[in-house]
Amino acid sequence: MTVPRASGYFRTRYAEDFALLDTRTRKAWAALFAAALLVYPFLAGPLALDLANQVLLGAVGAVALMLLTGYAGQISLGHAGLLAAGAFTTGILFKEFGAPFWVTLPASALVGAALGLIFGLPSLRLRGLYLAVSTLALHFIVIHLGAEYETKRGFSTGILVDPPSIGGWQLYDARAWYFVLLAAAAATVLFSLNLLRSKTGRAWRAIHGREAVAGALGISVHRAKLSAFVVSSMLTAVAGCLFAYFRGFVSVEAFSLFLTIQYVAMVIIGGMGSILGAVLGTVFVILFPYFIEWLMEAAGLAEELAAVVFAVNYSAFGLVMILFLVFEPQGLVGVWRRIQAWFLMWPFKQKPLAGTK
Amino acid sequence: MRDAVTWYAELRGKCAPLLLVERARREPDAVAYRAKHLGLYRERTWREYAGLVARSARGLAALGLGRGERIAIMGDACEEWILCDLGAQSLGAITYGIYPTASAAEVEYQMRDGGAAIFVAENQEYVDKILAYADALPELRWIVVIDDSAMFAYDHPKLRTFAQLYELGDDAGLDELERLARAVDPASGAFIVYTSGTSGNPKGALVTHGAHLAAAANMVLHYPALAERPHRTVAYLPLCHIFGRDIAVTLPLLSRMVPHFGESLEDLPQTLFEVAPTVLFTVPRYLQKFASHVLVGIAGTSAVKRAAYELAVRIGRRHLRAVWDGHAGLGPVYAAARLAVFRPLLNKLGLDGLELLVAGGAPLPPDTMALWQIWGVNTMELYGQTETAGGIITGQRGRFPRPGSVGDAPPGWEVKLAGGEANRGEILVRSPDLFDGYWGNPEATRETKGEDGWLRTGDVGEWVSPPFQGGVAARRPGWFSRRRHHPGGFAATPPQGEGQHHPDGFAATPPQGGGDMPRRELRLVDRVRDFIVTSGGKTLSPSYIENLLRASPYVAEVMVIGHGRKYLTALVEIDFDTVSDWARARNIAYTGFTSLAQNPEVRRLIEDEIARANGALARVEQVKSFRILPKALDPEEEGEPVTPTRKVKRALMIERFRELVESMYDHREERLLAAGAGDVLRAE
């Protein structure tokens, strides 16, 4: 349920309470934003379009991790492993059985859900660092199995996956991919927003707050934790499936531990406990290396630093993460909310008469 | 606009339930009101409204409520209040409301005086107030509770719930209500309103059905916008007050105003924010309170925002002065200031959609009124009394009237100033539609309602002709305007007869003049008996000075003292909300109201506020000393010197805080003289 920030909105039916967008201003902004997203691929150049596609694909995984870590409060370092699980399920089904898109996608989701269930079990007993280590096991197991498959079947350089075809039409063009990924990201965001205001989502927030209190309130802590793992892993595996088709190539090298770190960074930099934060974090983390490169070029150091470009990138990335943790624990979404509040509260700092009688 | 006289005459022959039936037949599916319940505004159409009233009428009849019997209702403004009220009215019973803030002793007094057969309580809190006397009141037969959520373990035999009342009324409909309403004599009593006496016990003013409708219609004629377009308003003023009843019950029946009831009175800021009323009737206290919160908010905001606000206010002030003088004002520049600053500011309060903001019930300080006008709210003041049966005596009209007057009389109503020695300048009103008389007090009725048909208001006024220089803010440094020194000042002199020139340039026009006189407006001076005559022989109006002081955001209530004294002093009640905000911002430690009131920093703050007001006053009017009350005035407490509407009972206030008052006066002179005289008086 959202709270109108401008005066003159009162609700006469519960249906209005359920609406994701209630005020005219919000609807207008949402429409404008949607229109901008739809027009974007026709205005953007090839690089900008590719970046957008990466962001949209990344957003699916980031939102999935946000549900688990940002809302339910469960740490997971198995994210790259789950992406790999989705990607390999797709790759193997395609390679071995020539399975089409509409089989590989649900199959990936199922594998993800099963892995989520299995690797969510330790969370019932373990917390914090220990849970992180147990989820790390998931990463290595999946990567090991993937590597085994590659070598045993002789695809040691990776599995090639053909673009998905729908009724003879092949999804190949970057612009077409943009719309598919946009749809996937939008569906993930809407699904998550709705889930979060359902009983399940509220239970997740409650166990994040304090398990004992949540339990005392009648919430089944076990069920909430497992459902968080299952839903998050399923979405992540779907992202892995899309990744496989988008890249047209599946290989264990793409799913290093650094990928997990990147997703965790998206969640932290974006701002814990916010879907918007997950999206903003994705934009930031994906664009950041390009920004560093651009900086090096602008400074005329591109030549000298060419050899160490990755090292510069990694260290800059690490530095930014530390800075965020220290100075802006609320992440990008905290910055956004402050900017928004500055305008929304104009000409006040806080709302006058709030909480007075 | 229809002819006033015929409309009044037509309404005089009806009662409110009958108007409701007519409306329900004419526009059955239009929304009559909205009442917030569990977060949702339940919409009631006219048909539903009439149906609910019919059920409550039948329910009350089943409890044995008969013609001419009384029913008392105690609680904040809510849907069920008006349903009980109209239900009882359609049975020919007489309703009266008891102030939600009334103390137990006041409740008992009004229960005995009115002799109610049924007591309707909004919730358990009010049940507790009555239950102690329930068996000692012979006429009380039933106690009906509207919200019975806290009523477990209560098993008094007189208790019934509102839901049970409805069940008794089962499926009564429009036809039944019409039959009942047509049987009601329009000249019989509809309701009693207890006037909050600042001296003595409250008196119950009995108002008849027809007179009330015809009197209230004068508001619709005076503010035709109410009937021209649909309007949203918020009903939050106590319904036991005639002004509250007008807004929640009568005006909606006579105009196109749709009242909205909030979930509870404490949520008023939220209710206003959600409803964003287009018309709001209010009492000055709310406007002062909202305005002071806004100003404290602006004082605490960032430098950029504050600078923007101050620029906009400067523009607003110049614009408003021009408008008051009849010019066009700053047009687009002001429009830009309004759009950029004032609209967002008002939006936070839910008041940016207001077309009309009318204050009544108590004098509105000109500074406060000017401030709201600067913000672009069409603010005006009206003047009415319980005794005018729900109609107004005068009211300002038009767009952005200059503060300082209370406007002119509505069509068909006569207003004049008394010329006699005893009550020179007293405002007298004549209309066929006045109150019927004080309940069980014919003597008081005779005193107020003379043989000649003129109602004596007890207020002193004078006539002013626009463009008059009445607005304090227009000429004086108010507390929100830049401080400038104004030599001379202005003495609020009581009216001294016709034609005399007043110090600041307006002439008191003769009360009764020829037909082609310029439009004249009434200006309120004070209550007849409230003038202060200092020991120096100066007659002063305390309310004028008090309003100037009350304009400070940090002052909740103030009483100026000086009758028979050498100089004026004041007792000040600080506004806990704003002063505690102020204290927090300055790291001043306090534990509660008393410790805050006694803080030397707070004392200095109030001292500055008083010095500022003194700057706008003539020398004799200046407040020389003051004391801060150590506790908040609470009308719900026994023997407190405030009425339920928070009007100060002057005599009681002085009595209660005698030591504080005396400590402000220096008695050395008296002691010296007494010592000089020695014991000569006692020596035989």
For residues B169 and A101, give the distance between their C-alpha atoms in angstroms, rounded to a whole number. 66
Give the containing element (helix H, strand E) for B174: helix B174-182
Confidence at B505, pLDDT banded by 50, 70, 90: very low
Angle CA(B11)–CA(B16)–CA(B17) in degrees, nearest 5? 130
Reference A61, options A282, A236, A237; nearest CA is: A236
Q: Which residues of B touch A6 (CB under 8 A)?
A: 347
* Segment B34-48, tens digit of pLDDT: 999 999 999 999 999
The CA distance from A272 to the nearest CA of chain B, in Å, is 28
What is the token pair recorded at B553? 């955001």
3-state secondary structure of B101: coil
B→A interface, C-beta within 8 Å: 34, 36, 39-43, 260, 266, 268-269, 272-276, 290, 293-294, 296-298, 300-302, 305-306, 308-309, 341, 344-345, 347-353, 577
Confidence at B671, pLDDT banded by 50, 70, 90: low
Residue tagged 């004026």 (tokens): B568
- What local confidence, expressed as pLDDT, does residue B636 receive? 76
For B37-82, give the secondary structure using H, E and C.
Answer: ECCEEEEEEHHHHHHHHHHHHHHHHHCCCCCCCEEEEECCCCHHHH
Q: Do A345 and B275 touch (CB under 8 A)?
A: no
The CA distance from B580 to the nearest CA of chain A, in Å, is 12
For residues A218 and A210, give the distance between their C-alpha atoms in angstroms, rounded to a whole number. 13
Q: Do A13 and B40 touch (CB under 8 A)?
A: yes
A→B interface, C-beta within 8 Å: 4, 6-14, 17, 345-354, 356-357
For residues A237 and A86, give the distance between their C-alpha atoms in angstroms, rounded to a whole number. 4
Q: Among A349, A354, A356, whose Cβ lies nearest the Cβ of B301?
A: A349
What is the token pair recorded at A152? 């045993």
* Helices and strands in chain B: count of H runs, count of E runs: 27, 25
Share of chain B above pLDDT 70, in %: 88
For residues B290 and B366, give the distance between their C-alpha atoms in angstroms, rounded to a whole number. 15
The CA distance from B295 to the nearest CA of chain A, in Å, is 9
Strands B455-464 and B521-527 come out as: antiparallel
- What local confidence, expressed as pLDDT, does residue B480 receive? 33
For residues B477 and B124, give the distance between their C-alpha atoms in angstroms, rounded to a whole number. 49
- What local confidence, expressed as pLDDT, does residue B102 receive? 83
Amino acid at B28: P
**Mutant choice from B273, B343, B374, B576 vs A, greatest count of A C-beta within 10 A:** B273
The CA distance from A10 to the nearest CA of chain B, in Å, is 5
Strands B426-430 and B455-464 come out as: antiparallel
Angle CA(B345)–CA(B351)–CA(B353) in degrees, nearest 5? 105
What is the token pair recorded at B582? 């102020």
DSSP string, B521-589: EEEEEEEGGG-EE-TT--EE-HHHHHHHHHTSTTEEEEEEE-TTSSSEEEEEEE-HHHHHHHHHHTT--
Name the least confident of A57-66, B321-330, B460-469.
B460-469
- If one compares B362 and A181, the residue with the highest pLDDT of the two is A181
For residues A136 and A119, give the distance between their C-alpha atoms in angstroms, rounded to a whole number. 10
For residues B394 and B523, give the distance between their C-alpha atoms in angstroms, rounded to a whole number. 10
Q: Do A347 and B290 touch (CB under 8 A)?
A: no
Q: Do A348 and B297 touch (CB under 8 A)?
A: yes
Q: Do B275 and A352 touch (CB under 8 A)?
A: no
For residues A102 and A165, give the distance between their C-alpha atoms in angstroms, rounded to a whole number. 10
For B413-435, give the secondary structure using H, E and C.
Answer: CEEEECCCCCCCCEEEEECCCCC
Name the least confident of A288-297, B256-265, B439-448, B647-656.
B647-656
A46: how many CB neighbours lie within 10 A of its CB?
Answer: 9
For residues A274 and B186, give the distance between their C-alpha atoms in angstroms, rounded to a whole number. 63
- What local confidence, expressed as pLDDT, does residue B510 receive? 37
Q: What is the rounded average pLDDT of the residues A143-156?
A: 91
Q: What is the rounded average pLDDT of the residues B480-484?
A: 31
- R_g over Cα of chain A: 22
Judged against a pLDDT cut of 90, whether residue B188 lies above it is answered with yes
For residues A155 and A174, give the distance between their C-alpha atoms in angstroms, rounded to a whole number. 26
Q: Do A347 and B266 touch (CB under 8 A)?
A: no
Angle CA(B503)–CA(B507)–CA(B512) in degrees, nearest 5? 150
- What local confidence, expressed as pLDDT, does residue B518 receive? 57
Residue tagged 């207001």 (tokens): B354
Reference B574, options B595, B544, B545, B543; nearest CA is: B595
* Segment B597-620, tens digit of pLDDT: 989 999 999 999 999 888 888 787
- What local confidence, expressed as pLDDT, does residue B673 receive? 60
Angle CA(B10)–CA(B13)–CA(B15) in degrees, nearest 5? 110
Q: Which residues of A touch B306 (CB under 8 A)?
A: 347
Judged against a pLDDT cut of 60, whether residue B683 lies above it is answered with no
Q: Which residues of B touch A347 (CB under 8 A)?
A: 298, 301, 305-306, 308-309, 341, 344-345
- What local confidence, expressed as pLDDT, does residue A4 receive? 83
What is the token pair recorded at A281? 């974090």
Q: Which residues of A touch B646 (CB under 8 A)?
A: none
Confidence at B468, pLDDT banded by 50, 70, 90: low
Alpha helices in B249-398 (DSSP H): 251-254, 268-275, 284-299, 303-324, 332-337, 343-349, 366-374
- What local confidence, expressed as pLDDT, does residue B19 receive? 97
- What local confidence, expressed as pLDDT, does residue B359 receive? 94
For residues A101 and A164, the answer to whether their CB atoms sit within 8 Å is yes
Q: Do B275 and A349 touch (CB under 8 A)?
A: no
Q: Among B275, B290, B309, whose Cβ lies nearest the Cβ of A353?
A: B290
Residue tagged 């100003």 (tokens): B295
For residues B82 and B107, the answer to whether their CB atoms sit within 8 Å is no
Amino acid at B107: V
A256: how many CB neighbours lie within 10 A of its CB?
Answer: 14
Q: Do B34 and A349 touch (CB under 8 A)?
A: no
Confidence at B679, pLDDT banded by 50, 70, 90: low
Across the A:B interface, residue pairs with CB atoms under 8 Å apart total 83
For residues B257 and B233, the answer to whether their CB atoms sit within 8 Å is yes
For residues B409 and B431, the answer to whether their CB atoms sit within 8 Å is no
For residues B378 and B399, give the distance between their C-alpha atoms in angstroms, rounded to a whole number. 6
For B183-226, give the secondary structure using H, E and C.
Answer: CCCCCCEEEEEEECCCCCCCEEEEEEHHHHHHHHHHHHHHCCHH
- What local confidence, expressed as pLDDT, does residue B293 receive? 85
Q: Which residues of A touch B286 (CB under 8 A)?
A: none
* Segment A294-303, tens digit of pLDDT: 888 888 877 7
Confidence at B49, pLDDT banded by 50, 70, 90: very high
Give the containing element (helix H, strand E) for A259: helix A257-270
- What local confidence, expressed as pLDDT, does residue B584 receive? 86
For B495-538, give the secondary structure using H, E and C.
Answer: CCCCCCECCCCCECCCCCCCCCCCCCEEEEEEEHHHCEECCCCC
For residues B574 and B602, the answer to whether their CB atoms sit within 8 Å is yes
Q: Among A8, A347, A356, whose Cβ lies nearest the Cβ of B341?
A: A347
The CA distance from A197 to the nearest CA of chain B, in Å, is 17
* Segment A227-278, tens digit of pLDDT: 999 999 999 999 999 999 999 999 999 999 999 999 999 999 999 999 999 9
Overall residue count recorded for chain B in this entry: 684
For residues B24 and B53, the answer to whether their CB atoms sit within 8 Å is no
Q: Which domains does chain B have, with CATH numbers?
A: 4-183+212-266 (3.40.50.12780), 283-435+453-527 (no CATH), 539-672 (3.30.300.30)
Enumerate the β-bridge partners of residue A211: none
The CA distance from B269 to the nearest CA of chain A, in Å, is 7
Contacts of A124 (CB under 8 A, 6+ apart): A222, A225, A226
A152: how many CB neighbours lie within 10 A of its CB?
Answer: 9
Q: What is the rounded average pLDDT of the residues A119-144?
A: 92
Share of chain B above pLDDT 90, in %: 53
Name the least confident of A78-87, B35-44, B483-492.
B483-492
Q: Which residues of A touch B276 (CB under 8 A)?
A: 7-9
pTM of the model: 0.83
Q: What is the rounded average pLDDT of the residues B232-245?
A: 94
Q: In chain B, whose CA is at the least distance from the CA of A350?
A: B297
For residues B556 and B208, give the distance between their C-alpha atoms in angstroms, rounded to a whole number. 36
